[in-house]
Amino acid sequence: MIDINLVRENPEKVKENIKKKYQDDKIHLVDEILKIDGKWRKLKFDEDNLRSERNKVSRSIANELKSGHKKEAEKLKEKAKEIPFEIEKIEVKRKKFEDEMRNILLKIPNMMHESVPLGKDDSDNVELKRFGDPKVPSYEIMNHAELAEKIDSVDFDTARKVSGNGFYYLKGNLSRLHSALISFAKDYMVKNGFEFVIPPFMIRSEVVEGVMSFAEKDAMMYKVEGEDLYLIGTAEHSLIAMFAGKTLNGKDLPYKITGVSPCFRKEVGAHGIEEKGFYRVHQFEKQEMIVLCDPADSYDWYNKMLELSVGVFKEIGIPVRILECCSGDLADLKAKSADVEAWSPRQKKYFEVGSCSNLTDAQARRLNIRAEKGGKTYFVHTLNNTVIASPRALIAIMENFQNADGSITIPTVLQPYMSGMKKIEAGK
């Protein structure tokens, strides 16, 4: 949610930002909120005057009583009785306008960083850098779903009967490899100074409104019927909500937290949900990192968090690249974002395995997360980033560490988490 003062002082800048995000249908919201804001400010002016008048009358009553003028004091008391009712009437109208303005502010996209490349959709995203040596072996790389079935480590058919498309039973050594990934990611982040937290897997509607846009909510979130609860789509949602409504000590910033959780996503309109495999599913596990920091430090942390993501895959031994998201591919709350993509030797291209985003103060304004330092109170900046999304990272390992006979070499850093096992044999 952007600052109303920015809309007041520079509406054309806000409109230009909306255009750059290719959301022209929202431009009218700027003019709409300015009209409501004008009415709100008039009411606020009248309300403040009435409060001032009430204070003056109270002082006059005290002076008249002190001077022994009881009749004059009684007249003033009658006048004073009317003022609270007038204030209350104005308050009701003013709060109605405040609610209307908040609802509009929630729809206006966050201001992008000036470095964000312009583009209409993800096809205009810009490659920044590659890490590792992408290789294509001389033998054919088997599709991950076929390989998982070959080694008897997955059951798609039973999961489809039990839960529908987009689910699977992960079994045997592949399930152990999945758990090894999560355990390694946890230890990696703790070594890098992040506090490990297991968050709630359900959040209230007011939290959902605070952590994401309306469009994201409709496309992603599963609601618990009959309850004011939603299943989280990522640990970020409930980790950020830990700080909702709080004023933090600015000297304690940054807060660095990593958490693991199951993630539940409807994936409305998502291509590939009908396909057999792990790439696009309704339920998966993910290790997430978040940072709450001083506004002056947020882009330094954005770069550090990207480095941490790349570092995970470097240690595992998977080639990756960083792809910066263009203006049209940024969700409403994001000021700047980049995807981390892993190399697929089977497809001979990169595919997304994580995403790093700086939301500046947009999320903090929605959730009212502030900090106080040197007598000044301000909204913090919030950032989030994927450490490991287990299905995608699992695919990357199954392809990049797949041998000619269909066996999978376990990356060296993951072997301690699998009792020293070095290979998942083909046919087992």
Query: How confident is the model over 195-245, as pLDDT tens digits?
Result: 999 999 999 999 999 998 877 888 889 999 999 999 999 999 999 999 999
Q: Which residue has the tokens 């409930």?
A: 238
Strand 370-373 and strand 247-249: the pairing is parallel
Query: How confident is the model over 237-291, as pLDDT tens digits?
Result: 999 999 999 999 999 999 999 999 999 998 755 555 557 888 889 999 999 999 9
List the single range of 10-14, 176-180, 267-271, 357-361 with lowest mean pLDDT.
267-271
pTM for the model: 0.89
Query: How confident is the model over 52-84, as pLDDT tens digits?
Result: 888 887 888 788 777 888 777 777 777 777 888
Interatomic CA distance for residues 390 and 210, integer angstroms: 26
Interatomic CA distance for residues 126 and 338, integer angstroms: 9
Question: Which residues on neighbouring strands pair with residue 202, listed in sequence order?
Answer: 231
Let me know: does 170 contact 158? Beta carbons within 8 Å: no
Beta-carbon neighbour count of residue 162 at 10 Å?
A: 10
Interatomic CA distance for residues 362 and 105, integer angstroms: 10
Nearest-CA neighbor of 353 among 401, 306, 393, 412? 393
pLDDT at 76: 75
pLDDT at 58: 80
Q: Which residue stretches of 196-323 are H helix? A: 205-211, 214-220, 235-241, 298-316
pLDDT at 218: 81
Q: Which residue has the tokens 């096992």?
A: 421
Phi, psi of 359 (to 5 degrees): -100, 10
Interatomic CA distance for residues 20 and 383, integer angstroms: 22
Q: Which residue has the tokens 């497809």?
A: 347
Give me the half-sphere count of Cα atoms (radius 13 Å) on the Cβ side of residue 177: 29
Report the run of H or E that residue 129 belongs to, with start and end. Answer: strand 126-131
Which domains are seen in the chain, by residue range?
Answer: 4-105 (1.10.287.40), 122-424 (3.30.930.10)
Nearest-CA neighbor of 254 among 222, 283, 289, 286? 289
Q: Which two tokens stand for residue 404?
A: 């000619």
Nearest-CA neighbor of 131 among 315, 403, 390? 315
Q: Which residue stretches of 257-405 are H helix? A: 298-316, 362-367, 390-400
Question: Which residues on neighbouring strands pair with residue 258, listed in sequence order?
Answer: 196, 289
CA 223, 226, 228: angle at the middle one, nearest 5? 60
